[in-house]
Chain A
């Protein structure tokens, strides 16, 4: 589904991703953990070219993002993204937030798009908010809408960039619940998070990143209970 080979990314002199290689199988849930500044957010943002890639290859669903001939907009329609700060469109209602891209990018007619949006809102438990504006929602509700908005494009992969980091603690659960359901439905997911409980429970594989490298990756149980590297041990001892 996703194949990353020797990915490199620098901001000026600062080399953030040094040499990342990994693959993600269809329906797999990969959780990326690591200290701040380890490059995990930059890594996930490279997967849909929100950051330009300086070296190596990212192949998603058979298309190489670094190939100049690849239409990045087409690739992005298959890769949903959920951001730490939601990034809902404040000038649109919840319903319009969800239907905007399906109507304008996919060319689906309005009625059909709205029906699907309402079904997605029901799925994330926010049917009654369809005509509300984002400002009137809580953080947890905003993030659930953001997930519904990404799902409306019927992506093959979902990327989550610290989806619960900007939430009040009591709202983390409702968002994770939606993500769990999504994983159960068989969505391929890459999740950058500090929620170790989620990583352990939902992840098929956990990747520990530090200093621009993948230090270690394994099944959650193995990685959390029996880390092989000193840096993984040091990190886990602080967060667990």
Chain B
């Protein structure tokens, strides 16, 4: 098999641009997902069954259906109601955010519920409201415990952003498919794209390990 490096070099500017967009949409997805996820987690932990219900439904729907299907519905069904023509990047960010929010919510809930219930009792017995106790006592401890599973989720999200290529969002995978189509070659574009994804996820792994180490030494000074 001859490997045509000229295809790789030809397309490298597009791959790099696509990589930038992949990083951008993933970052946006993670940030929005974190905020929504926390709110959904808190909603799901309400003691009122009727308040829990919508959050349960949300999590079940977004975890229980394929992201690809969600993206297609969002891009061709929902976003066109608000913008025309619908921008695939906007649809991709919305899809990734809503989808990751469901997973992140469950990660947060597990983290929060893993904190000994004596912590909440001690905080409440000192006169703190539920919200104060959450903010000052429970969440700071839970954050540390959710770092490893959150890192996992970030890596999954980064890879799943490749589904944006189906919506013609110009992220990394989109340019991989474009190169494959133009040269009718499989190995060069897809191996290159795979390597770039690998570099991204390994960097992320390294970053998360660093954060984890920092956090765990934080309160053992």
A-side residues, CB < 8 A to B, are 48, 50, 73-74, 76-77, 79-81, 83, 85, 87-91, 100-101, 104-106, 133, 135, 146, 149-150, 153
Contact = CB atoms under 8 A, between A and B. Distances in A.
Interface of B is mostly: helix
Contacts of A89: 119, 122-123, 137, 141
B127 interface: yes
B141 A90 contact: yes
B126 A91 contact: no
Contacts of B122: 81, 83, 87-89, 146
B160 interface: no
Interface string B153-190: 00000000000000000000000000000000000000
A91 B140 contact: yes
A144 B124 CA distance: 19
A83 B116 CA distance: 13
Contact of B121 (A74, A83, A106): A83
Contact of B219 (A79, A83, A90, A149): A90
Contacts of A76: 124-127
A91 B125 CA distance: 18
Given A83-B121, A100-B136, A105 B128 contact: yes
A44 to B, nearest CB: 11
Contacts, number: 68
B220 A133 contact: yes
Contacts of A73: 124, 127-129
Interface residues of B, number: 21
Interface of B: 116, 118-119, 121-129, 132, 136-137, 140-141, 144, 219-221
B116 A153 contact: no
Interface centre among A73, A133, A150 (most CB of B within 10 A): A73
Nearest to A102: B126
B136 A104 contact: yes
A87 B128 contact: no
A130 B122 CA distance: 19
B124 to A, nearest CB: 7
A85 B118 contact: yes
